[in-house]
Amino acid sequence: MKRLGRKVMYESNWINFYLDRVEMNDKSIIEDYHVIKYHREGVTVVVENDNDEILFVEAHRYLLGTTEWEIPAGGTEKGEDILKTGEREVLEESGYHVKNIEYLFSYYPASGSTDLKFHVLKAVLDEGKERQDFDLNEIADVKWIKKEKIKEMIKNNELKDGLTLSGLMYYLFLN
């Protein structure tokens, strides 16, 4: 497949929308291939403590009109290493410091319409550092949940965020 042309529908510092003209492998043409381009990648962190619990934040979700329990996540800053992004997001959203942060995997959640890439990391709570305040504009509450309870929450469809679900299922499957 190859792009034959591009029409800009909308551009901002956060997201761009395009209509591409695409030649398919069989030489047929798609006149309006909808493309969403994000300027930052997403990072989420599965943080575990010594009590076999995972860190959750209750995030305000404007588009859904709800608050949802999720694991800490956010976007990379320009030129920022994904491990540093993970540490920063956990601190901003929960007030906790982490250590032993590691890369687990990356994926594209909607590869048919966007090149948005998500990275999933794991880390351990740094018990030696004092907890700070967290961002109340973004986060309503913070709590630790036992792994067995998380499995029940997943089974009962209580967690709605795709990045949270993919990260937790991968992590719980391996542990």
- In percent, the amount of the chain with pLDDT more than 90 equals 92
Domain boundaries, the chain: 2-38, 42-174
The enclosing H or E element of 29 equals strand 29-38
pLDDT digits (tens, 9 = 90+) for 75-105: 999 999 999 999 999 999 999 999 999 999 9
Decide: 145 and 56 in contact? Cβ < 8 Å.
Answer: yes
pLDDT confidence of residue 175: 77
DSSP letter at 149? H
- Per-residue pLDDT, 74: 96
| Tokens encoding 62 | 């404007």
pLDDT at 96: 97
Q: CA–CA separation, 166 vs 59, rounded Å? A: 17
What is residue 138's predicted lDDT score, i.e. its pLDDT?
87
pTM confidence score: 0.92
For 4-54, how does the pLDDT look when each residue is reduced to its tens digit (9 = 90+)?
999 999 999 999 999 999 999 999 999 999 999 999 999 999 999 999 999
CA distance 37 to 75: 14
Looking at CATH, the fold of the domain delimited by 42-174 is given as Nucleoside Triphosphate Pyrophosphohydrolase (3.90.79)
pLDDT value at residue 89: 97
> If you average pLDDT over residues 69-73, what whole number do you get?
98
Q: pLDDT higher for 64 or 174? A: 64
**What does the pLDDT look like over 102-144, one tens digit per residue?**
999 999 999 999 999 999 999 999 998 988 898 888 899 999 9
